Amino acid sequence: MQQRVGLARALAMDGDILLMDEPFSALDPLIRQQLQDELLVLQRQLHKTIVFVSHDLDEALKIGTRIAIMKDGRIIQHGKPEEIVLSPADDYVRTFVAHTNPLNVLCGQSLMRGLDQCIRQNDEICFDQGRDCWIGLSEGDVLKGARQGSNVIDLQRWRQGDPVEKLRREPTLVDVSIRMRDALQIRYQTGHKLVLQEQDRVVGVLGDSELYHALLGKNLG
């Protein structure tokens, strides 16, 4: 209770920037996780800028939108959580993130194959060469249709919170912010690659090779 009261007081202040120095470090894991979740909810509602100091990398990766890793008082690397995990700046950072679970950190935007890396024919993009699957794009890369060979196909849509087990064995449209854990589950459930969108614009494709790279090669440099 004391920690929750302290958190509420800090967020209720009208300061532009809040400094929180290891506020959850003395808590047991369950309460710590609950307070991390509460902090994220409150931050989204209040839009406060928070400088959060932590010695727990998993905590930093969970709650941080930008992370700075320090050594001997110097910033060694800073960036988005997925940038830190996928592209460590040196051996120190590489060792630091070596045992990080990428399922909890990486999102579609940092994993996907962009449209510029896909086969393009006129206004069509091949998103699965092995299955001869294509998507048609209008101006601004807005989706206008899909086909497999000469047959028109529909792309089902998945949104955060939808039950994955209800997806059919068909290609799936997802938001570019999809977490890697969800992407893996959808890939297994549907047997197809994922087509990523940012608002209405198609931005990339996520398949086995991209997921394997993240699982097996995130620290290879």
Question: What's the pLDDT tens digit per position in 173-210?
Answer: 999 989 888 999 999 999 999 999 998 899 999 988 88
Residue 13 CB partners (closer than 8 Å, separation 6+): none
Nearest Cα to 205, choosing from 177, 173, 179, 158?
173
Name 114's Cβ contacts closer than 8 Å, sequence gap at least 6.
203, 204
pLDDT at 118: 92
d(C-alpha 45, C-alpha 165), whole Å? 31
**Which sequence spans correspond to the domains of the chain?**
1-104, 109-216
| Fold for the domain defined by 109-216 | CBS-domain (3.10.580)
Closest among 33, 37, 26, 30 to 2, alpha carbons compared:
26
Task: Decide whether 1-104 matches 109-216 in CATH topology.
Answer: no
Instruction: Quick: pLDDT tens for 135-151.
Output: 999 998 999 999 999 99
Tell me the C-alpha distance between 118 and 22, whole Å. Answer: 45
219 pLDDT band (50/70/90 cuts)?
very low
Q: How far, in Å, CA of 35 to CA of 87, rounded?
A: 29
Q: Tell me the whole-structure pTM to 2 decimals.
A: 0.66
Q: Tell me the pLDDT tens digit for each residue of 111-170.
A: 899 999 999 998 999 999 989 999 999 998 999 999 999 999 989 999 988 899 999 999
CATH superfamily of 1-104: P-loop containing nucleotide triphosphate hydrolases (3.40.50.300)
